[in-house]
Structures are given as structure tokens and as C-alpha cells.
Amino acid sequence: MADSKLKIIPLGGLEQIGMNITVFEYEDSIIVVDCGLSFPEDDMLGIDLVIPDISYLKDNIDKVKGFFITHGHEDHIGAIPYVLREINVPIYATKLTIGIIDNKLKEHDMLRTVKRKVVRYGQHINLGCFRVEFIKTNHSIQDAAALAIYSPAGVVIHTGDFKVDYTPVFGDTIDLQRFGELGKKGVLALLCDSTNAERAGFTMSEKTVGKALDTIFADHKKNRIIISTFASNVDRVQQIINCAYNYGRKVVIEGRSMVSIISTASELGYIHIPEHTLIDIEKLKDYPDEMTVLITTGSQGESMAALSRIASGMHRKVAVKPNDLIVLSSSPIPGNEKAITKIINELSMKGAEVIFQDVHVSGHACAEDIKLIYSLVRPKYAIPVHGEYKHLKAQAKIAEELGVLKENIFLMFSGDILELDEDSAKITGKVHVSDVMVDGLGVGDVGNIVLRDRQHLAEEGIIIVVLTLEAGSGMALAGPDIVSRGFVYVRGSESLMEEAKHLLNGTVESCMDKHITDWGRIKAEIKDTLGEFVWKETKRRPMIIPIIMEV
């Protein structure tokens, strides 16, 4: 019997797509589900990745027992190398997921220090007050799992990212029977994927993409075919390879993440590549165009991905030809539409034919699939997860339609603490959460102030004023000299810069006459005078940095 309440604390993954990480806490035990990253927003200039704030886990380090990972997508595993440097506890996941995590840990030289355990479907792991069962689901990457989390307060099911695919390309269909069995025994709460909750109907099977690809191959027998898709969509790559083999084409896999994941999937037996089908990119020139297929990364318009480099003419080994057919086999992630349109235009201008519609199915459950899970599980409490607020709200509506009481549906925000047991559930507080930004080798050393400065520099430019003073007397020996970047083109604005310099000469002389020797005051006078002048003349506010040297 439960003496305490179960706490559920999402540290990320709500009000956004990505950075999924959820804490389950009961008394002196904490387990964590997923550990993902998100990609930077347009205003996060220079930032490479965004990872979750794990202050709460660090503050409760003695309670943390392990991480349970639902599948191998970046938004669920990408932060592992950064987080496990701070909190080194075991990771539990299915075979392919662990294989992909191993690649990440190897890159960060952490393979020896982090414990990983491969878990089979149906297996139970006991950690502290918790017992966790892995349940087979389908998604756009193989080996996806839902988790049944048994605690003294009751059973909670976390679906992870999922879809219901009755005809998967590889492996078995989702284990609906197990969801039904748990539902009959009684489920306290369901945390369900909301990404496609707004879409009516059922999500199409991955096999339907195979038929569309076959038609494309049949209709373009005289073209070289380049297909871009998500690196992690192993089933999609398998279907492309099957089509290539059936039509007698050689396959080149290009893009670092694509090569890494397909190598891992092949080694572990999740993808079958017929002998002599795969060739190295160096040998591409040895075959006629109509006998080759390139599978690349970059379907989301990522600037450094293979397709972007091919489109811009920066790829060292592949150039777009007028006879090429290019297929974007993915749907745009919200926010990426502009980058994808740019690539489509670049490829089209080079004479290639581009297909970007009807060659993709989602990996997430639509409304009817979500209804099926709710009907089987019949939870007392509904907690929509994985998605922006509008997605969570759409799922809340579905839950209410299927009989979950309105007061038992919780639309949470990252950092909320939900305490629940069989008798009651309520949000009792909030833990500190924020975006931790990764810039190069720096983790968390760039915050809002630095980003604001970068925004300022990007929008208005910079003016540096250099002044040399004599030690002791404080008299001006040289300057003030003005250097500007990103403000105006200096050669076209000599009169403006001369006038600014003349004005600053007067400001410095005035400071000398008043015997002002405090550098802080001199700098403030320079900034105020120059800032006012520049605004009056140009209606711009560049960043002004006075530099004083003493000789």
C-alpha cells in the first residue's frame, strides 16, 4: 500500500517538440524516462544544441537510480552524453536504441564509464521503489518501446513516441494485447504522445511508402535518383534499398549520421542489404546515372547536411545534374519550412526534378490511434506529453471524449510537479527548468545575456572607440580612433565617421578639462555622446565599446 504520493516532473518536452525528459519520483527513488535535446530557435544565434536543465536531478543525486529510454531519436537520447557526465547512472533500453547510444558515448569517450543494459520486450527492471516493463510499440525508428512503470501508488504507462502499424516493415506490430491487459488490471495514469493529436483518422503504415517509392523508381528508369530522409528511419532506408535492388541500381549512403545509424542497424540485424548493392561514394563515377541511388541526410534543410551541400554546390563528390530526380521523403518539422523551400528552389534551378509530397508517413499516432490506446488502457488520470500546447490540448479533448473526467486531465508545463495516488492528483509546485545551450565545447556558458548581445550585434553592428592615455597625468596621447563592423560601410560613410571622431575629440577634451580620470566615467561619456549622435544621424543603435589604454 502507498504511504506517499508518486511525483511526475517533466523537465522538458512540453510546450515544444523535442528535449523530452520526465522524472518519476517516489520517496527515496527517482527514475528518468528519456534524455533528449532540441535544436536551436532562429534567435539562438550560434547555438548548436539545447539540452535540459538537470538541476533538480543534481540536487537529488542520491535518489536517481537510472534512465529508461523509449527509442533512439535525438529528441529522446541526444542529451545523454552531456547529462551523464553529471549524473552517472545506468541506462536501460532496447537493442537498437542502446546501439545508437553507444555511438554517441563513443564520440564523447564515455563508453567505459557509463553502464548500459539491453532490455527485451516484456522484461521487468527493478530499481528502488519502481519496476519498469518494456512494451513493444511502432514508430519511425525500430525498437521503440512504451513503459509500464509500477510504483506503490499505482501503474503509470508512458507511451513514448508511437504509432499503430499493423504491417510494419520490420518486426512485430504494437503489443495492443499488453496495453489491454494492463488496462483491465487498472492503470493510474497515461502519459501519451500528442504530436499528431490534431490530425483526424489513423496513421498510415510505413509499407505504403514502399509502394510510392516503387512507383517513382518505375517511372524514372533513366534518371539518377537522390532520396533524402531522416537518418534514423531505418525502415524507410530498407524500402529504398529494396527498390534499388529490384531495379538493378547501386546504392550510396551519404551523410555522417546516416552512415553511423545504418552501420549500427546492419550490424545488429535490423536492416538487410543485399550483397554488392552498397557502393562507396568514390565509385559513384564508375556507374551510369540510371544505375545509381543516393540516400542522404538533409530532408529538413539542415545547413550542413549532405543534401544542403549538394544543393548549394559545396559537396565535394556529388554535383546536381539536370537529369537528376530528387525525393524528399519526410514532412517538414514545424519551423523548417523556409529552409526546405530554399533547398527545393536551389535544386530546381539546377534543372533537377524534385518530389516532396506523398513520399512520407508519420511515425506518430493520429487521433483514432490515440483513442484506441485510451480505450485499452482506461487510465484514471490523463497526462498528454510530447508536443506544443495546442497538441496537448487536442489530446486532452480526446481523453475527455473517452470518459476521463475533466478534473483528471492535466495539461502540464515543463517543471510542474504533479503528485498523485489512487485518491487524488494535483500540481503542487514547480522545479527550476531552463534551456541549457551548447555552443561548440561550451555547455551552459551562453545564456540570455550573451544571446541578447549576439542579437544586438547581428541587427545593429558594433563601433569600437580606442583611446590612449598617458600614465600618471591621464592626458590623451592618441585617439579617439573609431573602428566599426556591421554598422555602415566605412568607405561610403567617411563624412559620418569624421564627424563622429570630431565629436568624440570634443568629449575627451571636455573630460580632460574637468580633470575626470575615472575610466568608467570617460567610457560612459563616450558611449552617451556617440550613441546619441549615431541615433540622430542613422536611427540605429549599434553596440558601442570604448577601449582605453594607458602608456
The DSSP string of 440-454 is: TTEES---HHHHHHH
> CA-to-CA distance for 70 and 73, rounded, in angstroms?
9
Using DSSP, state whether 419 is helix, strand or coil: strand
Give first-to-last CA distance, the chain, whole Å. 78
> Which residues face 293 on adjacent strands?
225, 251
Pick from 287, 68, 312: which is nearest to 191 by CA? 68
AA letter at 100: I
Cell triple for residue 333?
518539422
415 in Cβ contact with 433 (< 8 Å): yes
Cell triple for residue 322?
539536370
282 secondary structure, DSSP code: G
- Active-site annotation, residues: 193, 364
Which residue shows C-alpha cell 504520493? 5
Using DSSP, state whether 340 is helix, strand or coil: helix
* Residues counted in the chain: 551
Using DSSP, state whether 233 is helix, strand or coil: coil
| Cα–Cα distances in angstroms (integers) from residue 228 to residues 156, 212, 254, 307, 379, in the given order | 38, 15, 10, 7, 40
Core vs surface per residue 315-340: b (16+ CB within 10 A) or e: beebebeeebbbbbbbbbbeebeebb
108 in Cβ contact with 201 (< 8 Å): no
> CA-to-CA distance for 84 and 57, rounded, in angstroms?
11
Pick from 22, 373, 34, 399: which is nearest to 178 by CA? 373
- Considering Cα of 102, then 105, then 106, then 111, what sign does the dihedral take? negative
Longest dimension (CA), the chain: 88
532 in Cβ contact with 540 (< 8 Å): no
AA letter at 215: T
Q: How many CB atoms lie within 10 A of CB 87?
A: 16
- Considering Cα of 251, then 255, then 259, then 261, what sign does the dihedral take? negative
The enclosing H or E element of 176 equals helix 176-185
123 in Cβ contact with 83 (< 8 Å): no
Phi, psi for 548 (deg, rounded to 5): -115, 130
Phi, psi for 442 (deg, rounded to 5): -85, 130
